[in-house]
Each structure stands twice: as structure tokens, then as C-alpha cells.
Chains A and B, each alone.
Chain A
Amino acid sequence: MSRIARAVALLALPALAWLATAVSAAPIDKRLAERLDPATAEEVWKVVEAAGAQGVPTDPLIVTALEGASKHARPERIVAAVRERSAALLAAKEALGPESTAGEITAGAGALMSGVPRDTLVRLRQERPRGSLLVPLVVLADLVTRQVPVGTASMAVLHASRIGTHDADLLRLRSRVEGDIRRGVSPAAATIARLQTLGLGDAPAPPVRGSPR
């Protein structure tokens, strides 16, 4: 090869490498680019792209990073939180099955991160192989949020799914448990009491501990 040709080839190499990179990598989400420093945005984007390649919804990961940005969290903390949620999304997808919707996977990840065991998600899918699990998963995570023991919350939602409870009734159960807890009933007792009245219309609230029946 002549010296000129060699020089042209050497000059062209970096340009070709850049072009290959530009074509293969999707642009960083605009929201990340605007609200994170470039290095953190790039680290987060790597996690997002890897998660997307495994078929899990990626918007929850971006939103997690944006939450960290708004709360002025350290970059390493933001990246760690995004990785943690990515792992939860993947675990939820594996537990709920490959046909799960983005909403189910996201809700499932929320339940796992609230402390619900993976096995509960697997059993939920077995109870409802075709219907949407979005509401059961949301109710499950919410009950745990309200200090209902994980075992009690899991039992309640699994039982409700097993007997074919409609989503509207499950949401109503959640709402009534919330009201009972506000009135002083223990979270576990409220859940068990309301579970027993599923499908029985407007059942009375369970008594507050210490109050006369």
C-alpha cells in the first residue's frame, strides 16, 4: 500500500468506528440527557438498553433516574437504584410469564420491591392465567405498604383471585381495608375481615380492638 493510501486508511479508521457506534446505539432518552450529567445519563442508558433487550419495560427505569435527579441524589446512587429496579422488572417478568404486559411487569416489580415473594407472583399467574394481573398486583403492593404482613396480603390476594373476584371488588376491598386501618383496626385483622365479606356487598366494618361489638 502506498504511503498516501495508508495515511487515508489511518485517518478513516476513527470516522468509521464512530459511524459504527452511532448506528448501533440508540440516542439517550432526551429526559435523561436534560436532567442528568452526561456520564450518569450514559451509565443509566446502558442499564435501560440492556433491560429493553431483555423485553422489560424501560420507562420505569428512566423515571427512577429522574426521581433521583429531582432529589439531587448522588450519581452512583441513581445508577444503583436503576439497576435494582431493572433486576426487579426482570424478576417480575420471569415470575409472571413472557406474555405479561408492561403494566403487569411494572406492577409486579413494585410488589417484589415492597417485599412480596416471587412465589406469590408465580402463584397469582397460575390462578389467573389469562386475565390481567395489574389490579391484584397493585392491591397486593398497596396492602403491604399499609403494613399488612406480607403473608396475609399474599394470602388475601391469592384467595380473591382463586375465587374469581372481579378487579372492581378487589379495589373495593383495598379501599375498605384502608378505611378500617384509619379507624384503628390492625392491618392484618382488617384484611382478613374484609376478605371474608368479598362479594357480600356493603358488609359492616370490623370492630376496632377494645371497642364493644
Chain B
Amino acid sequence: MRLVQFVLTAPKASRVAVVGDFNDWDPSATPLARSDGGSWIAAIPVSPGRHVYAFIVDGDRWVSDPASPLAPEDDFGIRNSVIVVGGQEST
């Protein structure tokens, strides 16, 4: 597992969460913490490989990560972002 930092700038948000295939898309699993300058940050362990994810702002607004490419797959109508985590595969 590698520690991956997720960051979203959302100064007007009251809460932000990251959801993805690494936390069962659970909106309550990984809340971000507010940081300086309106940024929200969370660092969580993620297994090596390609992962798709998104941010949920204020409980109901889905936002893709402006710092990452969008996934080409059908995402149930809400585009996901993609991140690649390097490292050795565990067998």
C-alpha cells in the first residue's frame, strides 16, 4: 500500500469527501480536512494500480479532480478521475 494524498480546492465548501474504488465508494469513509487557502486534504493508503475516484462536496455535489485525467469508462453519468499508484503487486 502507498500513502496517497488527495487535495481539492473548495473554499466555499463546508465538507468534502473522496470516494473511489479504494474505499467502496462510501461517502462517509474518507472525509477531507480543511487546510489553509480553502484547500481540503486527505492522505490514505491505496494499493498499487490504477484507481478511479471523485470528490463529493457538501454531501451531494460530485466533482472530478482538476489535477487528474478523467476516466474514459462509463461512470454512471458522473465522470471519475484516475490515479495510478506505483509499487509492487502483492500476490
How many A-B pairs have beta carbons closer than 8 Å: the answer is 77
Knowing A103-B89, A142-B84, say if A71 contacts B76 (CB, 8 Å).
yes
Q: Are A67 and B76 in contact (CB under 8 A)?
A: yes
Q: Are A107 and B49 in contact (CB under 8 A)?
A: yes
Q: Are B25 and A134 in contact (CB under 8 A)?
A: no
In whole angstroms, how far apart are the Cα atoms of A33 and B91 in the complex? 29
Stretch at the interface among A1-9, A19-27, A110-118, A194-202: A110-118
Q: Closest Cβ of chain A: how far from B16's Cβ, in Å?
A: 15
In whole angstroms, how far apart are the Cα atoms of A153 and B75 in the complex? 22
Q: Which of A60, A69, A134 has the most CB of B within 10 A?
A: A134
Q: How many residues of A contact B (CB 8 A)?
A: 36
In whole angstroms, how far apart are the Cα atoms of A200 and B3 in the complex? 29
In whole angstroms, how far apart are the Cα atoms of A113 and B91 in the complex? 23
Q: Closest Cβ of chain A: how far from B52's Cβ, in Å?
A: 8
Q: Closest Cβ of chain A: how far from B91's Cβ, in Å?
A: 5
In whole angstroms, how far apart are the Cα atoms of A104 and B75 in the complex? 22
Q: Are A145 and B70 in contact (CB under 8 A)?
A: yes
Nearest CB in chain A to that of B27: its residue: A70
Q: Are A135 and B26 in contact (CB under 8 A)?
A: no
Q: How many residues of B contact A (CB 8 A)?
A: 27
Within 8 A of A (CB), among B2-51: 19, 21, 24-27, 48-50
Q: Are B49 and A71 in contact (CB under 8 A)?
A: no
Knowing A101-B89, A103-B89, A106-B49, say if A31 contacts B73 (CB, 8 Å).
no
A87 contacts partner chain B, Cβ-Cβ < 8 Å: no
Q: Closest Cβ of chain A: how far from B76's Cβ, in Å?
A: 4
A56 contacts partner chain B, Cβ-Cβ < 8 Å: no
Q: Please, which residues of chain B bring their CB within 8 A of the CB of A90? A: none
Q: Which of A60, A104, A138, A142 has the most CB of B within 10 A?
A: A138
B55-91 interface mask toward A, CB cutoff 8 Å, 1 = contact, 0 = none? Answer: 0000000100000011111111110001010101111
Knowing A134-B49, A138-B84, A146-B69, say if A63 contacts B21 (CB, 8 Å).
yes
Q: Please, which residues of chain A bring their CB within 8 A of the CB of B78? A: 71
Q: Closest Cβ of chain A: how far from B12's Cβ, in Å?
A: 23
Q: Are A145 and B76 in contact (CB under 8 A)?
A: no
In whole angstroms, how far apart are the Cα atoms of A113 and B73 in the complex? 6
Knowing A139-B84, A142-B50, A145-B69, say if A101 contacts B27 (CB, 8 Å).
no
Q: Please, which residues of chain A bring their CB within 8 A of the CB of B50? A: 107, 110, 138, 141-142
